[in-house]
Structure 1
Amino acid sequence: MNEKAWMDRVRPTRGFPLVVLVLGLLAWAGLGCQRAAGPAGQRYHCPMHPTYITDRPGDCPICGMRLVPIKDVATTGPARPETSGHQPSESLAHIQPGQFYCPMHPEVVQDGSGRCPKCGMQLVEKKEDAGRPGQPSAPADSAKTVPGRTMIHLSPEKRQLIGLTLAPVERRRLVQTLRTAAVVEHDETRFYRVAPRFAGWVRRLYVNFTGAPLEHGQPMLRVYSPELYAAQNDYLVAWRAWQQLPPDAHEEARAAARALWEAARLRLELLGMEEPDIRALEERGSAAAEIEFRSPVSGHVVQKRVAEGQAFQTGETLLEVADLSRLWLRAFVFEMDLPRIAVGQPAVVRFPQWPDRTYSARVSFVYPHIEPRTRRAELRLELDNPRHEIRPDMWADVELVLDAGERLAVPASALIDTGLRRVAFVDRGDGHLEPREVRVGWRTDDFCEVLSGLAEGEQVVTRALFLVDAESQLKAAMAAMAAHAH
């Protein structure tokens, strides 16, 4: 066989290996696609982001966590579409008041009580004001569903496995202890300035240093004033003229003499002389060249601005004296705590210097301003200090006991704070747990006051709450996908 004939025989079979290779690649790709799609009907979700659901295995595009298959989808209870976060308004329109229906399957309706043939849940009676399924005993203001969550069903075995516990919604006394810091200040109502109402010189200074202790009535300084000396002499002249007036003097003369005496006395009072000093002047019968200033309270010298022999002008401050028998505490609280604080509220005060001592104080004033940078409000408390051991500018720890009285309350562990709302899960019986949006008021370390969303006597989940919430979100997301697919 020549070369040309051999080449003609081999040429038709040269493309056969290429065809086999292409068919093999197509078959491998088909198997890979079938394997990537996963078993028929199987769905996957991210444990950290239950709202992300897909029919293909892989990693979560949000956090990168491995997706896990959703198991027992059909046994977790039928899902209700919640594409907008609210139930369709016509879901109970076909049910007449007095009829019984299934909260999970509103299409199941009968005239008498019983159980749902689909899920086994106890049928409930529709009331005149029934707003939606599954809410016959809930408060009227909890008739709205919680967006992104739905009712779920947990068997007794699952409840025991996750450690789920319940607690009742009940009325209880709410007492909260508010702890804050405070700084000691002088009582401004017991702060005195020694400022003579006349000009003169300091002849003698008995208190010659700042911080000197003082007792009530103790001499502080002696001054000389020509103005005061002349006023004393004028008073003595007027007083003697009034005293020496004969009994049969004319009425006009008596009135003039009395007016002159009273004017001279008023002048002395305006210059700062007190009643004992004026009586001493009358008994002595001669003007005093010097006058003595005595301490008005028991306290200490806050500031000394004069020296012995120094001249001073009218109204010039020579000494500042403070009474330490009662002090002020300026305490700081956040503005959110202001509604719970009232004037007259008792407080317990402790000082780091004396950790074994406690002092009693009371709120006397709430300052009408807020610190713009720290968003803090300020309180004023009054504290007795009979031994003068507490000093201004000391720091103190203050505890305010806030008693709200008896309120409808729920354990704090029964609430999930999503940032936009607080959610609790109510046990509806037969293993069904319903999410409720709850408005809270007073809060203590262990309990929260219920303003709306829960009724007294209802049972709420307190343990395994995050697992229940994740299941509710997952079921709501699946229901939304199913509704979108239809």
Structure 2
Amino acid sequence: MSRLQIVALVAAGLAVSGAAFLLGRHSAAGSGPSPAAAPASAAAGERKPLYWQDPMVPGARFDKPGKSPFMDMQLQPVYADDAAAGGDAGVRIDARVQQNLGIRTVAVKRAEVATAFDAVGTVQFDERVSVAVQTRAPGYVERLAVRSPMERVARGQVLATVFVPEWLGPLNEIVALRRAGASAELLAAATERTRALSIPAELVRQAEEGRTPEARQTLLAPAGGVVVELGVREGVAVSPGMTLFRIAGLDRVWAVAEVPESQLAHLARGQKVQAVAQADPGQVFTGRLQEILPQVNAATRTLQARFEIDNRQGRLVPGMLLRLRFDGPAASRLVVPAEAVMRTGTRAVALVRRDGGRFEPRELELGADLGDRLEVRAGLAEGEEVVASGQFLVDSEARLRSALGGLAGPPASAPTATGGAR
């Protein structure tokens, strides 16, 4: 083959190769995106988080992913579509998983509830019906009829006989004037003197009748009850103003109860209360609040309340224990079952069921403890559903999802430290 033929063949091959290259480039440009356009398209389809949060403490929001400062779990991202749908708090659990976990919810309701609480009271003497027996003249106890304290006495019963020597002079003077036929003025002056000396009218009348004066005073019980104080013995001297006997009545007694300071707002003077004897629950009494003593026990944070109880049958004696039942006025209150509330230190939390299988923790302000129910003052609305059983399983599910999500590790550009709360 000549040189000219070889050159022609090489030129033809180069021409075919160039045409094939141009054709392939044109086909590639028309069938798919360029390498520079592919990343831009992928980035356009990503969901960008608005913020990160702890699903069990949704109030705090963070700018960056990381570990929650409240719980031992990773922060969860919240996206724009989640926030628009109201799913910016709590944790979402599939219905099948809810059934497997045995989650049970109840509705928040209003109920007519009367504030009631119990307290223990001690029976005491009613000091308002206590009376003192005294003598207004110096003398000595000639005979003592009641000899021991805490002895029961009846109204009009003889307590003691007191001899008063200084009464003999004025009484003998009246007898002498009567026998001498003295004027009415002198007799009136002598009688007035006996009144100044507190001589009993019965002794004065005996002297006016001319009988031999007796300077003895018989002390009678002015009221029935118990002799709580015995200040004399037979034969001892007495002086004016000296208390010989103190008698406490038993027809009415006090029940003094220790009432918690937090229940003070539910008490009012005149309020009725039921009292049951601790030793015999069959004995029920009715009392009325008389007074709340203006002093708080710093150790127990309680106040003393006095209740007046009718005891005309004499079944109550001082020192007995009574269980007092306070029933306040009924009012409409928002209540939830006690089992639906989780207490974490100083916080009370309930899990509220939301749409889409989401459960949101809600911090509550609790009111009165109603036994198996709790009053809710703030944090819930009527009709909302709260988790009554399985709360800790929901918390465990949130922790498990956080742990499984953290196995993949954070993105290369994401910091590992917790972001600052907004």
TM-score by length of 1: 0.60
Residue matched to 2:389: 463
Contact 1:404/1:442 (8 A) holds in 2: no
Secondary structure class of the residue paired with 2:275? strand
State the Cα deviation string for residues 143-174 of structure 1 (Å, max 9, x = none). Answer: xxxxxxx4111222222222222222222122
Instruction: Tell me, yes or no, if the aligned pair for 1:177 and 1:399 is still in contact at 8 Å.
Output: yes
1:309 equivalent among 221, 235, 244? 235
Q: Is the 8 A contact 1:174 1:447 kept in 2?
A: no
Distance 1:204 1:160, change over 3 A: same
1:355-392 deviation digits (Å, cap 9, x = unpaired): 33222223322222233344443222222211223211
Say which structure is richer in strand: 2
Q: State yes or no: 1:337 paired with 2:263.
A: yes
- Is the partner of 2:259 in helix, strand or coil? strand
Report the equivalent of 2:291.
Answer: 365
**Could you tell me whether the CA contact under 8 Å between 2:115 and 2:266 is conserved in 1?**
no
2:348 is the alignment partner of 1:422: yes
* Structure whose alpha-carbon radius of gyration is higher: 2
**Residue 279 of structure 1, CA deviation:** 7.4
Alignment correspondent of 2:208 = 285
Q: Is the 8 A contact 1:169 1:408 kept in 2?
A: yes
Structure 2 residue 202 is the aligned partner of structure 1 residue 202: no
> How far apart are the structure 2 equivalents of 1:328 and 1:263?
43
The offset of 1:319, in angstroms, is 1.6
- How far 1:449 sits from its partner (Å)? 2.1
Instruction: Tell me the equivalent position of 1:399.
Output: 325
Whole-Å Cα distance in 2 between the matches of residues 477 and 325 of structure 1?
73
CA shift, 1:264, in A, is: 5.1
Q: Is the 8 A contact 2:172 2:207 kept in 1?
A: no
The separation in 2 between residues aligned to 1:304 and 1:330, in whole angstroms, is 25
Number of the residue aligned with 1:50 = none
Shift of 1:228: 5.0
* Structure 2, unaligned runs of 5 or more: 1-48, 64-76, 178-182
- In structure 2, the CA distance between the partners of 1:315 and 1:430, relative to structure 1 (3 Å rule), is same
Alpha-carbon contact 1:79-1:479 (below 8 Å) kept: no
Who is 1:153 aligned against?
Answer: 92
Query: 1:81 touches 1:476 (CA, 8 Å); kept in 2?
Result: no
Q: What CA distance in whole angstroms lies between the structure 1 residues aligned with 2:50 and 2:389?
A: 24
2:51 touches 2:62 (CA, 8 Å); kept in 1? no
State yes or no: 1:217 paired with 2:188. Answer: no
CA distance 1:152–1:231, change in 2 (3 Å): farther
Name the amino acid aligned to 1:371.
N
In structure 2, relative to structure 1, the CA distance for the partners of 1:204 and 1:457 (3 Å cut) is same
The alignment status of 1:81 with 2:10, answered yes or no, reads: no
| Pairing partner for 1:327 from 221, 234, 253 | 253
Whole-Å Cα distance in 2 between the matches of residues 81 and 221 of structure 1? Answer: 91
Which residue matches 1:165? 104
Match of 2:196 in 1: 267
Query: For structure 1, which segment, 333-342 or 456-465, has the greater mean C-alpha deviation from structure 2 after superposition?
Result: 333-342
CA contact (8 A) 2:336 2:376 kept: yes
8 Å Cα contact 1:439/1:453 also seen in 2: yes
Tell me which amino acid in the other structure corresponds to 1:311: A
Distance in structure 2 (CA, Å) of the matches to 1:376 and 1:359: 23
Q: Does 1:433 align with 2:359?
A: yes
Match of 2:80 in 1: 107
The alignment yields a C-alpha RMSD, in angstroms, of 4.2
Query: What letter is aligned with 2:138?
Result: A
Counterpart-to-counterpart distance in 2, 1:473 and 1:423:
17
Q: 2:119 aligns to what?
A: 180
CA-CA distance at 1:419 after TM superposition: 1.4
Letter in 1 for 2:208: G
Moved more, 463-472 or 427-436: 463-472
Which ranges of 4 or more aligned residues in structure 1 deviate by more than 4 Å? 87-90, 227-238, 260-266, 472-484
The separation in 1 between residues aligned to 2:365 and 2:122, in whole angstroms, is: 36
The 3 A distance-change label for structure 1 pair 335 and 156 is: same
Paired-residue identity, %: 28
Contact 2:348–2:365 (8 Å) recurs in 1: yes
In structure 2, the CA distance between the partners of 1:478 and 1:440, relative to structure 1 (3 Å rule), is farther
Does the 8 Å contact 1:175/1:444 carry over to 2?
A: no
Give 1:267's aligned amino acid.
A
Q: CA deviation at 1:299?
A: 0.9
Cα shift at 1:293: 1.8
Give the superposition deviation at 1:79: 10
* Partner SS for 2:331: strand
Residue type matched to 1:107 in 2?
A: A
TM-score normalized by the length of structure 2: 0.68
Secondary structure, counterpart of 1:81 in structure 2:
strand
CA distance in 2, matches of 1:185, 1:282: 42
Name the CA shift for 1:353/1:451 in 2 (closer, same or farther; >3 Å).
closer
Alpha-carbon distance between aligned partners in 2 of 1:79 and 1:413, rounded to the nearest angstrom: 35
What is the match of residue 410 of structure 1? 336
